[in-house]
Structure 1
Amino acid sequence: RGIPVGPGRGSAAGSVVAYCLGITQLDPLKYDLLFERFLNEERISLPDIDVDFCMERRGQVIDYVRRKYGEDRVAQIAAFGFLKARAVVKDVGRALGRSFSETNAITKLMPPEKTIEKALEKSPPLEQKARSEAWVGEILDVAKKLQGMPRHASVHAAGVVIGASNLKEIVPLMRDKRGGRAVTQLDKDDVEKIGLVKFDILGLDTLTVIDHTLNLIQRITGKRIEISQIPFDDPKTWELLQHGDTTGVFQLESRGMKDLLRRMRPTNILELIALIALYRPGPMNVIKDYLANRANPDSIHYDHPLLEQHLKETYGVMVYQEQVMMAAREVAGFSLARADILRKAMSKKQQYPELIAKLKREFIEGAKKKGVSRALAERIFGKMSEFLGYGFNKSHSTAYGILSYYTAYLKANYPLQYMAALLTRAMGNEAKLKAQIADCKEMGIEILPPDVNKSDWAFTVEGDKIRFGLGGIKNLGISAANSLISTREKEGEFSSFYHFLKSVDLNKINRRAIESLIKAGAFDSLDTNRAQLIHWLPRAMEWAQRMKQAQKSGMSSLFGPSNEVELPQLEPVAPWDKKTRLDHEKEVLGFYLYDHPGCILRADKADDRHR
């Protein structure tokens, strides 16, 4: 069906069987990933395989699952919003007839605590108000009973359950308000407790962007690139990454990540994978050790020679959870299954203090048998415990590191197609669209204005430029844009504004949509006086409607069916000044595309100085 699927996600990328079956697309042996991180004989819960699909076509995957297993055996999973301390006080206050300002006066005194009891402990003014004003005490007493209860139900972003029989016999169901589909009344944790298997069918925008890019490349060059076959030693890609030119590159867009790329200057896929694992709040403090060791490998110190083979790849620094598991095996003789138990316990040390104490004794005893002193074993165990507070899953980092490389490769080698695809996915998100257009300008890519004769719904490539898509214009829905494009494909390009009005279906493309097209400059190739087109539009639309009626009834005018002689006599209108023109552009695009009022102001000041 051609639906793009991600190379892998989470610990499932460590399974050779998943790779051989085509569930994942990266070889776990090549990247030294651990199967036991995914599944082992001591694991009690079912293994979880999360799969990323193209965001646009995720719905088709869920529909396929319903058809394959039966509508009565498939349901999406509910998610619940719960009444938190401040929200429940506001809700109770409203229910008891108190005004917004009265309840707001209470919540302003509440620190950001999870419970009302904690808020009262931390805020003496709140406690004083509750004691001195009976109505405040009443609200807080009722709110205490309701806090933590479900407030509303929604649909989980990814979760789907598949039953062996009709789900009505297994789990209570409800209907999704938007689509009427079956949704469980239990959340993701509870459906697993009653024995149902949860599947995470996730939508990932990056896969959609990659697919759009490959389609544009094929349309222009005639060749289809197989993204999984691209080389990992492409010089242009590594140059782009080393310079931090990664706006629009998966996982590498933030300012901090760009800075780290410039400092690290990665040269291979393993370093890129490590970079993604390192750039998170927990391991930030080890980044400097990683960079220092990488710059000077002779300075690397391993606590024990047994650790070298597993830490060499990351220059002596623990970066991945799997490295802790291997350290437990090499230093203390743990099985990888037992090492995974240790990993889980250490990552939630507050919950499992007794288990950690037991595992620590096992670790020290096992290390002693391998000739490691107690003091050194305790030091290594301490470092492992500290690291696992923030350690990252190597399987997941590898899968997403490869996706990052794919997007960097496309941006470096096919910048026009990649940026056009990014801009298309950003439609509807003004901030993102503005940032991507700014990046295009930095790359020297010109954005051509929207044009009723040239633009598609999406952003497209024209020569060495990108054409603004109709989907980026406010008040112009996809059905109106598709109607415009369909008319143009049937009848050819529009020769004038009036030819446009006479040709298109004005029931689908209404006055508001046409006004937005004018303000965005989409008619500039036919008439640059936008003020005049806006002024003439009501009477011009009336004329177009009369022409359509005449054609329907078989009437013909003296001068032919569409001759512009029949147009009403319309008075000329002065064009908008530059600022008004820009303001209207911003109104319908969400930002200033080609100029900025500040530039006009600077130019005016410069003129004043010259005078």
Structure 2
Amino acid sequence: MFLNVHSYFSLRYGTMSIASLIAEAKSLGIKEIVLTDINNSSGCMPFIMKCREEGIRPLIGIEFRRGGLFLYLGIAKNKEGMKELNDFLSYYNLTEQELPDTPPLFEHAYVVYPFVRFGKTLQENEYIGVRPTEQNQLFGKDTIAIQNKLLALNAVTFSGKLQYRFHEYLRGIDLSTLLGKVTVADKCEKTEYFLPAEEIENLYANYLYLLENTSILLSSCCMDEYKFGDRNNKTIKTFTGSVSGDEDLLEKIALAGMVRRYGNENEQALVKIKAELKIVKEMSFCAYFLITWDVISYSRSVGFHHVGRGSGANSTIAYCLGITDVNPIELDLYFERFLNSKRSSPPDFDIDYSWDEREQVQQYLLRRYGAANTALLGTISTFQGRSVVREIGKVLGLPKTEIDSFTDPKKDKYNQDNPTFKKINALYKLMEGMPNQRSIHAGGILISEEPITYYTALDLPPKGMATVQWDMYVAEAIGLDKFDILSQRGIGHIKEATELIASNKKRYIDIHQVEAFLKDEQLNERLRSGDSIGCFYIESPAMRQLLKKLQCSDYRTLIAASSIIRPGVASSGMMRNYIYYFHHPEEVAYLHPVMKEQLAETYGVMVYQEDVIKVCYHYAGLDLADADVLRRAMSGKYRSSDAFAKLVNKFFEKAKETGRNEKTTEEVWRQISSFAGYSFSKAHSASFAIESYQSLFLKTYYPMEFMVAVLNNYGGFYQRWVYVHELKKTGAKVHLPCVNHSEAKVTIEQEDVYLGLVGIQGLEDYYIDRIPYERKLNGPFLNLTDFIKRMDINLEQGIILIKIGALRFTGFSKKELLWDIHNQLGIKALKKPITELFKLPPKQYQMPELLDEPLEDAYQELELLGYPLTMSMFDLLKTQYRGDILAKDLINHIGKTVKMVGLYVCEKTVRTKRNSKMWFGTFLDVQRDFFDTTHFPNNTPIYPFSGKGCYLILGKVVEDFGFPSIEIERFTKLPIRDNPFLV
């Protein structure tokens, strides 16, 4: 009898999860429920699955609202009816129109209007709902003609009085208003909770026909057509139109790719490909491989560079299809990590593109497979962390200072007796983890066999492409495989660098021919030295340190380094163990013979996700299916904490049954659990390592073009000035922006590099785009007057360009140009660009000599670029002191206290085991070499850094596996010279 049930997917309105509302209904003996969340169908599929588990008959629909106004309820008769409702809502979402007062005539869905629409002429499928509180309004009305069109409309939004109050807080948060200003119209009725059948009958005792009508309507609805379960794949089933056609095509292109990758006579490759093909065919994944191959083929045809990574790189077929550049045979990767007959969840390929090319690839998929069957994967953002406290505090009308005190964990113990804090804390526990808003998955795309609106309505987020209303976990449960089309800046670096090399050096690089890169001694030497600024994944201070500590000079070591740098391995101490045993393999003490057998390659240290499976299977005796579930739990791809806990218990029980020593098992488990979702699969690390080598190749042989590409793709780990500094080290002549040379982006011609207009702070987008366009259309600018006339520049924007030196081509100093532009524009800008029949020379004025000062130029560059280009930050210091030693000499001063001057690059904050903060700093010395510092809590103020600039550093030189750094004793920022413009 409950036609109108809201879950917490009625965002910031409903209070109950799918599981809790079903549990509540079951406890009251309720046999059927209609889930009708507000303007979405996010919870419908999980609702059907959970109801079937609990023996409740699930029915679904949507409550349609315009703003806060309840328009009507849509209840699906069957699967087709749900599609009608989803299509209807999707149309208005995707066209960004308001919902109409009356929906179209649905063939397979009912429409229930609120009682305020009583008297409306009703279609065959339309009804009027009567809430318990509205029955008295039937008195005196002529209902004979429409008696069979009246239903008992029992809404459910919350559970119990406490949750009603919770509902009010959610409404306050949704409306961004104070709790006291939430009106009756803004919230649900106080009776919107589940009641037992006998109480419902008592409520409608005078109008029992309402209940009878409702029962008849519900009995005509059925959701049995929805089928779920393992291997019930809903993804598009074929690529060619037939299963046999897919199998033949996949085998054909895989074998052709094998010849290209391995040659004609590689028996090992042939055996492996045949074995993989057998599993792929058995598990009906041919179409998935072919669609991914099709995406790669398309993107290559339009000149896009890609990286295929993730567990899919375990596949030799994927390697032969060009989906990845990781050679599984060379690295002894096993295909079963990606796909095996016991795997219950669908695997996927992660395909990375440049950040500015991904959307075109996504659009290709939408065109290729049709809008009806293709959509972006959604995600559900939840209320998390201290931001929840802030939301509640605002609704309560608390002052900012009080809210701040409640969000500071250090003050929790002082707030324990504060009644307001207690109230907020109770609400926080109810809200944490609840859905807050729908969003877009990082890159997932779904391609369904049947129209996707059978399963969800579609949203239109800012990205502008249709997006499903649920997340990857629901997609997986339904049986929809996702295609991950992702993006990263590193690929943008590689793509643009190859383009710049082609235009600037007339050389064309096939960046996918990585075999030669892996054997190149110059690349391996650069890797060993940690000289990798700008290179994907290996440029951070921590990674460069690790490369040096390992003396990493080959592909396999880099693969391991890419994984052990992850927090889970590092925090457990296993990273340090790995480095030590890497240098002293003879000292490895394996926990158990099984560990030696399975982990000899990584010196007994679990480095990869695959190692978890190996150890769980071979040491503890878990079967591969359980081992894989455990691995997925470690990587954050498994939801159920209860199921995870059961697997942990099973791990210990099975290990005991196998006769393993209890203490050894505890240590093995400690090492496994320390991964905690941070480790990579080996294939994933190998994919990253290949991209790192591609970057290393470009940085080593074409450093100028590579660094320009890094700048144009908005850098990586570091601030922009670090990459400009690195560019200058290549020998490039780096010029300030110039209106007669610069484009929006950084440009390079031979060794001359002009910074782009886009890097000038405060310069409007209009001028960033218009200046290069006008120059190309009508030639270089002749002088300031010509520039003003052609660009319609205003005074403020003109001053910015003059101060950065962008009009230095005129031959006049900045001060002369500033004088002139004020004389020409004053405080007014020209209304329209002037087109002259004849070019008239500008009037000449006799001015006093106005000279630019280098120090003043540096300050202006610091203001407008964020860094000085024509001067070093060291040159801005008041002191001439540059330290007693340089970074390159630190290794010769181990154990000594030294004094240095360093230019701040970045810092990293970490917490010690005692929960106090410490920091790691990275600096450049006066010769532009990097060095690192460690700031322990005892020797450090609350926050040691004071922003950009140079610091005087006193500390002890320490060494870790041959890598020197400084443990800070004293540390202060050095003052710089006064800006002459302000003196």
Counting only pairs closer than 5 Å after superposition, residues 333-482 of structure 1 correspond to structure 2 as 339-341=627-629, 343-344=631-632, 352-359=644-651, 374-375=659-660, 379=664, 382-383=667-668, 386-387=671-672, 389-390=674-675, 391-426=679-714, 432-477=719-764, 479-482=766-769
Q: Which has the higher contact order (CA 8 A, sep 6+)?
A: 1
The alpha-carbon distance between structure 1 residues 278 and 69, as it changes in their structure 2 partners (threshold 3 A), is same
Number of positions where the alignment pairs a residue of Structure 1 with one of Structure 2 = 571
Residue 840 of structure 2 is matched in structure 1 by: 563
What does residue 202 of structure 1 align with? 486
Give the aligned partner of residue 583 of structure 2. Answer: 295
Residue 259 of structure 1 is matched in structure 2 by 545
Q: Gaps (5+ residues) in structure 2?
A: 1-300, 882-975, 978-983
Which residue in 1 is equivalent to 2:474? 190
The aligned amino acid for 1:189 is Y
Distance 1:186 1:305, change over 3 A: closer
Pairing partner for 1:28 from 318, 328, 339:
328
Letter matched to residue 254 of structure 1: S
CA distance in 2 between partners of 1:140 and 1:233 (Å)? 59
Aligned residue for 1:318, secondary structure, equals coil
Report the alpha carbon displacement of residue 572 of structure 1 after superposing the two structures with TM. 5.4
SS at match of 1:602: coil
Check the 8 A contact 1:347/1:388 in 2, yes or no: no
Paired amino acid for 2:325: Q
Instruction: Check whether the contact 2:708–2:747 (CA below 8 A) recurs between aligned residues.
Output: yes
Whether the aligned pair in 1 keeps the contact of 2:794 and 2:825 (CA below 8 Å) is no
* Equivalent residue runs for 1:109-188 within 5 Å: 123-130=412-419, 145-176=430-461, 178-188=462-472
Q: Structure 1 residues 501, 169: closer, same or farther in 2, change over 3 A?
A: same
Q: Give, in whole Å, the separation in 2 of the partners of 1:346 and 1:477.
A: 47
RMSD: 3.7
Amino acid at match of 1:46: P
Query: Quick check: 1:485 aligned with 2:785?
Result: no
Shift of the alpha carbon at 1:445? Answer: 4.1
CA contact (8 A) 1:172 1:186 kept: no
Q: TM-score, normalised on structure 1? A: 0.81
Tell me, in whole angstroms, the C-alpha distance in 2 between the residues paired with 1:574 and 1:105: 55
Query: 2:892 maps to which residue?
Result: none
The answer for the alignment partner of 1:117 in structure 2 is none
- Alignment deviations for residues 18-55 of structure 1 (CA, whole Å, 9 cap, x no partner): 22333222221121112111121111111122211111
Does the CA-based 8 Å contact 1:5-1:207 persist in structure 2?
Answer: yes
1:286 aligns with 2:574: yes
Asked if the contact 1:175/1:181 (under 8 Å) is kept, the reply is yes
One-letter identity of the residue aligned with 2:644:
Y
Q: Give how far 1:345 is off.
A: 6.8
TM-aligned CA distance change 1:304 to 1:357, over 3 Å: same
**Relative to total residues, which structure has the larger strand share, 1 or 2?**
2
Q: Is the 8 A contact 2:626 2:647 kept in 1?
A: no
Separation (CA, whole Å) in 1 of partners of 2:603 and 2:880: 58
Deviation of 1:592 after TM superposition, in Å, equals: 1.9
Q: Over residues 422-479 of structure 1, what are the superposed CA-to-partner deviations in whole Å (9 max), with x where a residue is unaligned?
A: 111227x996211212333445544222122222222222333432122212334555
Deviations 1:120-160 (CA, angstroms, capped at 9, x unpaired): xxx45323111xxxx66665555555444333443333233
Mapped contact 1:84–1:147 kept (Cα < 8 A): yes
Q: Does the 8 Å CA contact 1:247/1:439 hold for their aligned counterparts?
A: yes
Q: Distance in 1 between matches of 2:610 and 2:812?
A: 63
CA distance in 2, matches of 1:229, 1:9: 16
Shift of 1:217: 0.7
Alignment partners' CA distance in 1, 2:423 and 2:602: 59
The question of whether the paired residues in 2 share the 8 Å contact of 1:237 and 1:413 is answered with no
Mapping of 1:497-536 within 5 angstroms? Answer: 497-502=784-789, 504-506=790-792, 510-536=794-820
Q: C-alpha displacement at 1:275, in angstroms?
A: 1.1
CA distance in 2, matches of 1:304, 1:272: 27
The answer to whether the 8 A contact 2:616-2:651 is kept is: no
- Confirm or deny: 8 A CA contact 1:364 1:378 kept in the other structure: no
Partner of 1:451, secondary structure, is coil
After TM superposition, the score normalised by the length of structure 2 is: 0.52
Displacement after TM superposition at 1:521 (Å): 1.1
Q: What SS is found at the alignment partner of 1:71?
A: coil
Worse-matched range after superposition: 453-462 or 199-208: 453-462
Whether the 8 Å contact between 1:7 and 1:26 is mirrored in structure 2 is no
Unmatched 5+ stretches in structure 1: 113-122, 367-373
Deviations along 1:254-308, one digit per CA (max 9) or x if unpaired, are: 2222122112112210011111111123323233433333334444455677765
Give the secondary structure class of the aligned counterpart of 1:7. strand
Aligned to 1:594: 870
Structure 1 377/404 Cα, relative in aligned 2: closer, same or farther at 3 Å? farther
Report the more deviating stretch, 524-533 or 390-399: 524-533
Distance 1:207 1:530, change over 3 A: same
The question of whether the paired residues in 2 share the 8 Å contact of 1:324 and 1:384 is answered with no
1:41–1:221: structure 2 CA closer, same or farther, 3 Å change rule?
A: same
* CA shift for structure 1 position 342: 5.9
Partner of 1:87: 387
2:367 matched residue in structure 1: 67
Amino acid at match of 2:378: A
Contact 2:459 2:467 in 1 (8 A): yes
